[in-house]
Amino acid sequence: MSGVVRGWLGNVTDEYWVTVEDDEALLAHRLGSDEDAWSVPNVAGCDGVGSVDRTVMTDEVLVAAFTCYEQPEGEAPVEMTEGQEFVSGFAGFDPSTGDELWRTEESAGTFPGDAHERELALHDSGLVTAYYPYGQIGQIVDPSTGNVRTLDEGGVLWSNRDGSLFGVWDERTRDYWTEEAGGGVRERFRANDTGAAESIINGLQGDAETVGLEGGVLHMAESIPAGAGESELAVFEGFEETVPVMFTWDGEALMEIDDVYVVPGAVAVSFIDHAGRSGVIGLQ
């Protein structure tokens, strides 16, 4: 998924580093000292089981995804129970003070555990996207206003720089389309329309990682065997054609793909091999 923020190390400004403490509190550490700058307890704001599941930070807003649900006393855990009532929302905070700027309690997902596992990404456009792996649905969050749009299906893999166009991937059906901010679909392919892709993707080593682009999706191999020579590093499945991406690997150790990032004008692929070497491959 394209984005510049992943994991806790992304929640850093010039002055603060924000972490989650005890599952449901935010704590800002002042960089360069042992001083805690501010904290926000009970972010979910509930009497039941509350948690902060993920956070991402822009220059202006820290976005926290939270979940809240009731766990009946003496009963088995209900977080993976379909039909269990829960709240999954987002809250925006001032990164310098911890003051709450907005709150949206618009539940999505199929049960509390789905909200716990949602993935957040911050895109170059400044918008935040969420994906719920069990429910296989996505959301688009505007950090400046707190407005949330829930997609009917799939999750956002790509967006253009001004946030007016999104690339949406449905992992279940393997359909991909570009969708305008207002909801109109611009281009789309369906898995059964691109039969050539399936056979090529099945030939990739390991479980393919999929990244979104304006013209389609790129499925990356997980690894390339030692001394493989010219082999398929990836498959580009586009709106107009499907083509393999070939790469020559004569190394004496297995090459494993580490991370894949969409950057302006290219896809940057970092790799490591079992001989201890690492590097970056640029794809256009």
Q: What is the pLDDT of residues 14-53, one digit of tens each?
A: 888 899 998 889 999 988 887 899 999 999 999 899 999 9
- Domain end, chosen from 150, 180, 212, is at 150
Question: At which residue do the structure tokens 């002042």 appear?
Answer: 30
Has residue 222 been placed in a domain?
Answer: yes
Has residue 168 been placed in a domain?
Answer: no
Has residue 161 been placed in a domain?
Answer: no
Q: Residue 160: its pLDDT value, please?
A: 92
34 CB neighbour count, 10 Å cutoff: 6
Q: Do both 32 and 125 map to the same domain?
A: yes
Q: Residue 193: its pLDDT value, please?
A: 62
pLDDT at position 175 over 70:
yes
Enter the tokens of residue 48: 């039941």
159 to each of 38, 49, 212, 254, 283, how far by Cα in Å? 33, 34, 8, 33, 18
* pLDDT class of 65 with cuts at 50, 70, 90: very high
pLDDT at position 90 over 90:
yes
Identify the three-state secondary structure at position 209.
strand
Q: Hey, which residues does 37 pair with through a beta bridge?
A: none
Which pairs with CB-CB distance under 8 Å and at least 24 residues apart come from 37-44? Answer: 37/96, 37/98, 38/97, 38/98, 39/98, 40/93, 40/98, 40/100, 43/91, 44/68, 44/87, 44/89
Q: Residue 1: its pLDDT value, please?
A: 34
Contact yes or no for 116/20 (Cβ under 8 A): no
Enter the tokens of residue 203: 């030939």
Tens of pLDDT, residue by residue over 228-272, are: 899 888 989 999 888 889 999 988 899 999 889 888 889 999 999
230 to each of 174, 208, 224, 234, how far by Cα in Å? 27, 18, 10, 12
Q: Do both 129 and 23 map to the same domain?
A: yes
Has residue 94 been placed in a domain?
Answer: yes
Q: Residue 8: its pLDDT value, please?
A: 47
Number of structural domains found in the chain? 2
pLDDT at position 7 over 80:
no
pLDDT at position 2 over 50:
no
Has residue 185 been placed in a domain?
Answer: no
Q: Do both 225 and 128 map to the same domain?
A: no
Question: At which residue do the structure tokens 């992992």 appear?
Answer: 171
Has residue 264 been placed in a domain?
Answer: yes
Spatial separation of the C-alpha atoms in residues 115 and 41, rounded to whole Å: 20
Q: Residue 200: its pLDDT value, please?
A: 58
CA-based nearest residue to 188, from 220, 154, 161, 160 = 154
Q: Do both 72 and 205 map to the same domain?
A: no
pLDDT at position 199 over 70:
no
Q: Residue 197: its pLDDT value, please?
A: 58
Q: Do both 140 and 47 map to the same domain?
A: yes
CATH code at position 43? 2.40.128.630
Burial of 80 (0-12, 13-18, 19+ CB in 10 A): middle
Identify the three-state secondary structure at position 76.
coil
Q: Do both 135 and 20 map to the same domain?
A: yes
CA-based nearest residue to 178, from 168, 164, 189, 192 = 168
Q: Do both 119 and 61 map to the same domain?
A: yes
User: What is the mean pLDDT of the segment spanning 98-116?
Assistant: 90
Contact yes or no for 135/121 (Cβ under 8 A): no
Q: Do both 138 and 204 map to the same domain?
A: no
User: What is the mean pLDDT of the segment spanning 61-88?
Assistant: 91
Q: Do both 126 and 200 map to the same domain?
A: no
> Please, what is the average pLDDT of the chain?
87
pLDDT-above-90 percentage for the chain: 51
Has residue 171 been placed in a domain?
Answer: no
Q: Do both 228 and 130 map to the same domain?
A: no
Q: What is the CA radius of gyration of the chain?
A: 21
Q: Do both 144 and 211 map to the same domain?
A: no
Residue with more model confidence, 167 or 284:
167
pLDDT at position 196 over 60:
no
* Continuous segment of H or E residues that includes residue 199: helix 195-202
Has residue 81 been placed in a domain?
Answer: yes
pLDDT at position 3 over 50:
no
Predicted model pTM: 0.84
Q: Residue 277: its pLDDT value, please?
A: 87
Range of the structural domain that residue 201 is part of: 194-283
Q: Do both 140 and 21 map to the same domain?
A: yes
Spatial separation of the C-alpha atoms in residues 122 and 109, rounded to whole Å: 20
- Domain end, chosen from 94, 118, 150, is at 150
- Domain end, chosen from 93, 121, 150, is at 150
